[in-house]
Amino acid sequence: MSSEDVTIRWFRESDYAEVEDLVRNLARLFDDPFDARWFKMYMDKRLMENVPGCYVAVKGGNEVVGSVFCDILRDPTGSQYGYISNIMIKKDRRGMGIGEKLLKAALQYLTIAGVPRIWANVREQTEAMVHLFEKHQFIKKFATYENRPPPYGI
């Protein structure tokens, strides 16, 4: 199988259930929490913008097989940056070039938007992910450390 009959387009309302499933599975993969109510609001807000900042990969015209988020943000110094996150391909569609197609679309959008730098969270446990981003000239800048406070406080 190849990615030839896979097209990349902006997220639409009708893709909601499939994208929710992808992001929910991604959260599960990394043992992160997923709040369905919040996610719905988050995506509804995206749909109100001219550009929703979420690309989907669609196979055969109707099956959503992957998604990626790409946003233009500003850091506290006022400097703009592009941010690519939550790239996820359906389990049975991985390794066919779809992740790369999505990443290229996100990079193209952010490059044309003129951001001076693009950041991405890359999970180093995921070999395919590291390879894909390094192939597209991402270099490791810093590491994110996580602390999970006890739920009932100190």
CB of 101 to ligand COA, least distance (A): 7
Please identify the residue of the shown chain whose CB is closest to the bound ligand COA.
99
Q: Could you tell me the CA-to-CA distances from 60 to 21, 51, 64, 97 in Å, in that order?
A: 19, 23, 9, 15
CA 83 to centroid of chain Cα atoms = 9
Interface contacts to ligand COA, rule CB under 6 A: 26, 29, 87-89, 94-100, 121, 123, 126-129, 131-132, 135
CB of 55 to ligand COA, least distance (A): 12
Q: Which two tokens stand for residue 38?
A: 């919040």
When the beta carbons of 7 and 121 are compared against ligand COA, the nearer one is 121
When the beta carbons of 19 and 89 are compared against ligand COA, the nearer one is 89
CB of 135 to ligand COA, least distance (A): 5
When the beta carbons of 48 and 141 are compared against ligand COA, the nearer one is 141
Determine the Cα angle at 121 with ends 119 and 124, to 5°.
130
In angstroms, the CA 130 to CA 120 distance is 11
CB of 42 to ligand COA, least distance (A): 17
Phi first, then psi: what are they for 2, rounded to 5°? -135, 180
